[in-house]
Every structure is written in C-alpha cells, then in structure tokens.
Amino acid sequence: MAIWEYLLLFFCVLLGGALAFWFHGRAQTTLKLALSFSGAYLLGITVLHLMPGAFSVPQASAGFWILGGFLVQLILEQLTQGVEHGHIHIHEHSGSAMAVQVMIGLSVHAFLEGMPLSHYDSFHAMQHDSTHGGHGHLLIGIVLHKLPAAFALVSLLLLSHFRKITVWICLALFSAMSPSGALVAGSFPLSQEAMANLLGFVIGSFLHIATTILFEADDNRQHHVSWAKMGVILLGIGLAVLSGML
C-alpha cells in the first residue's frame, strides 16, 4: 500500500466520526441509508471480486476460512451489540462499560479486515492481466463501511457521557485499526495460499455485516424496504460493479 492509502483510510474514518459531534442526535435516517449503501457495496465486491479471487487458489481452504470469518464476526457482534448496524438507541443508557466493550469489538474487527490490504494488490494482479485494476475496490469498501461505523461509535460514546477529549482519543484509535492491520500483515511475506485464506476470513466477516444490514427492515416493519433504502442499495451494488476497474 502507498502512504496516501494509509492516510486515506485513517482520515476518512476520522472524518466520519468527527461528523457525529455535530449531527449525532439528528442523523439517524441518514446513518441508516449510509449503512445500507456501504452494506450493498460490500456485498457486491465480495461476490464479484473477493470470492472469485479467494477460490482461484486451488491449494487454499477459502471455504473454511469464510465460515470462520462469519463465525468470528458473529462473536464480535456480541461485543458491539449491532452498533456498526446503527443500533445506537439500544445503548443510550447502558453506561461506560458497554461503550468500552463496543469500542473493543469494533477495533478488533477493523484490525482484522485491514490485514489483506497490504498484499491484495499483488494477489489481485496474479488473478488478472496487467490492465486490470488493483485493490481499489477493497480499500473503498473498508472506507465506506468504517465511515458510518465511526459515526455510530462516536454517537454511542457521547450518549455514554464520555468527555470529548476521550471520545477523540477513542476515535483516533479506531481510525488507526485498519491501517495498523494492513501494516502488520504487510510486514510478513504471505504465499498465495495464505493470502487466499486471509481474504476468505475477511469475506466471511463482510458477508455477515452486509447481509445483516440489508436484511434489517425499515421502521420496525417486517419485510418492508423503503424506496430510499432500495435506491441506495442499487447505487451500492452499481458502484461495486464499476469499482472492479479501480
């Protein structure tokens, strides 16, 4: 990864959390739409780009790693309690212990999903000809997912009455998790098999997050999706199709 990509990943997420200082009490509808857009994009790049790459290495056990990533994300969600899906209202009166628990769960997830980034460009290049794009779609997916997650995290911390300086420190730490995961993984050589398995692990996490976001109904009505949500879902999938060229 280039330096600018680390910086983009850090500062975009920092910006997403910073917006919550001004809008955390007045942006629930926008947050849900942003999450739907990011969930659709994650699902799109997972099916169109990530899964074909992971399964293109015959020696890898990508299927088992996908299941492992799905289950680990399910466990992490016991810590986050769905904050990354916009469930901030559930925790408004849960206190600081819950906020710290959520911070830990979100940070572990962010670190893990950032790990494939440093090797994904070369891995992806081996699956396609030289004119095909690199790992732009994966980087964009993590940024788009982390923006609303950072907003939700800051909103939760503010609702839990943390001091603003503490919230800024937590936000900075969260913003650094995915770049740190990429940096740590990039410090070690990974074979194509290992990279395919690592990518499978992240795919499992993405599948859990994307499907949970997209299957949630609007306004507590089962099996109902608003036209606004349907629109941003289609936009997210459309961007996923186009992002294969990045």
What pLDDT is recorded for position 10? 95
Check pLDDT > 90 for residue 8: yes
Residue 185 pLDDT: 92
For residues 210 and 37, what is the distance between their CA atoms, to the nearest angstrom? 10
Give ∠ CA 167-170-173 in degrees, rounded to 5.
Answer: 150
pLDDT at residue 28 tops 80: no
Question: What phi and psi, each to the nearest 5 degrees, are found at residue 213?
Answer: -65, -45
Give the model's pLDDT for residue 198.
Answer: 94
Residue pair 195/56 in contact by the 8 Å Cβ criterion = no
Residue 3 CA to residue 18 CA, distance in Å, equals 22
pTM for this entry: 0.86
pLDDT, position 243:
78
Most confident of the ranges 8-17, 82-91, 132-141, 207-216 = 8-17
Query: What is the rounded CA–CA span in Å between residue 50 and residue 141?
Result: 11
Residue-wise pLDDT tens digits, 165-175: 999 999 999 99
